[in-house]
Structure formats: C-alpha cells, structure tokens
C-alpha cells in the first residue's frame, strides 16, 4: 500500500468516525425537535419540586427546569411531557431513552455519575434529615438510639443512615419501602419512630399533613445531598445545553435580570447582560440554540431566585430558607461560570 493511499484511507476513516460522533452528540436535540416536546422525568408528587394537580398542571422547581429546557430548545414552556419516574426505575427510564432528562430530586453521587449518566449541575443543595411526631418528645437525632427508622429503598438515605449510626456508635432498625408513598404512610401509621429523607422532602411531606405542627424536622443534617438534572452519557451537546440552561438562570439572577424586566434588559448597555440575552455574541448559537434563548427562558419561568422563592421559599407554603442555595455573592453555593 502506498503512503498516499494509506493516508487517504486513514483520512476517510477519520472523517467517517467524526461524522458518526457528531451525529450521536446531536441525537437527543434532534429527537426532541422532531418529536416537538421534551420528555422530562420527574417525581410524581413532591410539593415544591414536582407535583401535578391531577388535571395535567404541574408545579415545582424541577417542573420549572423542565419548562426552561423546553423553552430553550422548542421556544415554548408548554412543550413538555412530564413522565413520573418511580424511585427504583428513574435511572433505567433515562438509560432506556424514554425520557430526555431526569429532573427528580436525585442526589449527584460518584456511582451515579459514572454509570452511563452525567449530572449537569446542582439546582438544589440539600442534606438528609429526620422527621418525628412531636408527641414522641424527640429533640435530636441522638435521641434515636435504638429507634426504628422508615427509609426509602434504593436511596442515598439508606447508606447515609447506616454510616451516621455506625459512626456515632448508635443502633437502629431500618424499615425499608420501595416507594415514597409507602415510606410516608408507614411513618404516619407509627410503624417507625422516625422518617429519614432529604430535608426538602421532609418539609414537603410535613406541609401536606392536616396538622403540620404535629411533626418536627430535627435540627441535624447528616449528609450532603446535591440534587440536580442528569442526562445520558455520550451526547455532549445535550449535556452542554441542559447545563447552560441552568447556568443562564443563575447568571440572570446575579445580573438582576428578572421575568418582569428581561425585555427591558435587552436594551441594557452592560456587556455581560448583552451576552447573556444574546444581544451581542453567539452564546446561544454555540450551544445549538437561538441566541436569545435566555430571554425566552426567563420570560417563561424567571431567574433561579424567582424559581426558588416561588416554589419552596418565601412565596410558597414550604417557606424553606434559601441557605446554601443563595448565590455565591450572598454567602451561598450557587455559582455559574461566566458567559464570554
């Protein structure tokens, strides 16, 4: 084989491989556009994060993220098919391709991030807590030595529970349930002394009760639970799109761009705001989106702070303090890379 022929064949193989990779990377975006809707995996009933009223109307932080992605890709926040994903099947649903993105109060862990999935960021910094009935007279997790604890099967809560009690030389008896509803109902029926889950989930359960003040979330937080959207590995364009929709929401809050003023802000003289809103540069185009995608997203759901306060913060029934979910500039952990 001559050197010239060898180089020609190698070049063809390289071009073919690159074309195949490019096709794979654009696959999810193309599928969503062809379908005309985003298949978004969510929790079926978690107040503040994702909950349906039974008539097809969904609300919550995770729901607003589904709407934001649909708006960025399809230009319309209503072009979402919400797919309730059972706890034990959520990642299988993502891997199978039944959903395009999983936004379901799922903790980012090393195992999950290396098992064909990639987390794009953290839309809620959480931690595991415990809830008890006030009538039990328990004021601290340390009062639960020897207690029975209701916990969900297949959750990070199971492992955290075991680690915490072992490290504190305490004993306990876990009572495990495969679904969220079964776990909650067992706690309410006094089948256990305490119920453990992400603190946000505990507050969501508490607020749904007829007498919320009969239940207390104990002060200790025993773990780190960074919750966020995840996608399948192998599609770098889709991963980047979902990631930068999240970052656009954070950058909007940091830049003072809100649902009420976003159209006015397109006339801003601030170079950073211009880049965010697509007035200057190719922020959107580089992602495979319209340059003004952030304008459409913010018009549809507001910035990150507005999403938080409306669903779980001061404007909601839960009234959860923003805490670690404040912007980095206000003492929190929420931080987005710059647009430039």
The pLDDT assigned to 18 comes to 38
Of 257 and 17, the one with more pLDDT: 257
pLDDT band at 199 (very low <50, low <70, confident <90, very high): very high
- Looking at per-residue pLDDT, the higher value among 242 and 1 belongs to 242
pLDDT at residue 25 above 70? Answer: no
Does 116 or 302 have the greater pLDDT score? 302
CA 95, CA 97: separation in Å to the nearest integer? 5
What integer pLDDT is reported at residue 54 of this predicted model? 84
Q: Reply yes or no on whether the pLDDT at 319 is more than 80.
A: yes
- Residue 275: predicted pLDDT: 98
Q: What is the pLDDT of residue 8?
A: 42
300: number of Cβ within 10 Å: 19
Q: Quote the pTM value.
A: 0.87
Q: What is the pLDDT of residue 88?
A: 87
Q: In what order do the strands lie in the sheet with 172-177?
A: 172-177, 147-152, 194-198, 128-133, 215-217
Domain boundaries, the chain: 25-125+227-330, 128-223
Q: What are phi and psi of 183, to 5 degrees?
A: -65, -45
Give the long-range contacts of residues 31-37, CB within 8 A, separation 24 or more. 31/100, 32/73, 32/74, 32/100, 33/73, 33/74, 36/74, 36/79, 37/70, 37/74, 37/79, 37/80, 37/81
Given a cut of 60, whether residue 2 has pLDDT beyond it is no
Taking only the tens place, the pLDDT of each residue in 78-104 is 999 999 999 889 999 999 999 999 999
pLDDT score of 3:
39
Higher-pLDDT residue of 305 and 6 is: 305
Given this model, what pLDDT does residue 87 score?
86
pLDDT above 60 for 316: yes
Distance (Å, rounded) from C-alpha 186 to C-alpha 182?
6
25-125+227-330 and 128-223, same CATH topology = yes
CA-to-CA distance for 229 and 252, rounded, in angstroms? 19
Identify the pLDDT of residue 115.
77
Tell me what the mean pLDDT of segment 218-244 comes to. Answer: 96
Summarised one tens digit per residue, pLDDT across range 48-59 is 999 998 888 999
Which class is 128-223 in CATH?
alpha beta
- Can you name the CATH fold of 25-125+227-330? D-Maltodextrin-Binding Protein; domain 2 (3.40.190)
Q: What is the pLDDT of residues 153-169, one digit of tens each?
A: 989 999 999 999 999 99
Q: How high is the mean pLDDT of the chain? A: 92
Assign residue 204 a region: left if phi > 0, alpha if psi is -120 to 50, beta otherwise?
alpha
- Which tens digits make up the pLDDT trace of 142-155? 999 999 999 999 89
Average pLDDT over residues 63-85: 98
pLDDT value of residue 55: 86
- The pLDDT of 205-230, averaged and rounded, is 96
Residues 6+ apart with CB under 8 A from 275: 281, 283, 339, 340
Give the list of residues 6+ apart from residue 111 with CB closer than 8 angstroms, or none: none
Can you tell me which residue has the tokens 């340059």?
Answer: 291
Structure confidence at residue 20 (pLDDT): 38
Average pLDDT over residues 271-276: 98
Q: How far is the C-alpha of 299 from the C-alpha of 340, rounded, in Å?
A: 22
At residue 211, does pLDDT exceed 90?
A: yes
Q: Is the pLDDT of residue 22 over 50?
A: no
């Amino acid at each position: 084989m001559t050197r010239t022929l060898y180089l020609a064949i190698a070049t063809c193989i390289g071009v073919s491989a690159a074309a195949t990779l490019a096709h794979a990377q654009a696959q999810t975006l193309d599928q969503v556009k062809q379908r005309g809707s985003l298949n978004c995996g969510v929790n079926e009933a978690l107040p503040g994060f994702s909950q349906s009223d039974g008539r097809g109307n969904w609300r919550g932080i995770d729901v607003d993220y589904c709407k934001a992605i649909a708006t960025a890709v399809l230009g319309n926040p209503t072009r979402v098919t919400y797919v309730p994903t059972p706890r034990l099947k959520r990642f299988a649903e993502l891997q199978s391709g039944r959903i395009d993105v999983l936004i379901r109060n799922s903790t980012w862990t090393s195992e999950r991030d290396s098992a064909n999935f990639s987390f794009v960021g953290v839309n809620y910094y959480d931690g595991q807590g415990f809830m008890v009935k006030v009538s039990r007279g328990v004021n601290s997790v340390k009062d639960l030595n020897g207690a029975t604890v209701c916990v969900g099967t297949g959750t990070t809560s199971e492992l955290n529970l075991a680690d915490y009690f072992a490290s504190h030389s305490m004993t306990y008896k876990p009572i495990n349930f495969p679904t969220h509803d079964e776990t909650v109902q067992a706690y309410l029926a006094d089948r256990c002394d305490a119920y453990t889950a992400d603190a946000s989930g505990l507050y969501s359960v508490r607020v749904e009760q007829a007498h919320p003040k009969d239940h207390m979330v104990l002060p200790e937080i025993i773990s780190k639970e960074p919750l966020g959207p995840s996608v399948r590995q192998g599609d770098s364009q889709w991963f980047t799109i979902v990631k930068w929709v999240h970052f656009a929401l954070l950058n909007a809050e940091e830049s003072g761009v809100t649902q009420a003023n976003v159209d006015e802000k397109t006339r801003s003289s601030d170079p950073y705001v211009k880049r965010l809103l697509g007035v200057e540069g190719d922020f959107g185009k580089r992602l495979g989106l319209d340059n003004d995608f952030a304008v459409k997203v913010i018009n549809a759901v507001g910035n990150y702070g507005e999403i938080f306060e409306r669903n779980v913060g001061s404007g909601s029934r839960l009234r959860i303090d923003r805490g670690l979910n404040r912007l980095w500039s206000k003492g929190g952990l929420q931080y987005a890379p710059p647009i430039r």
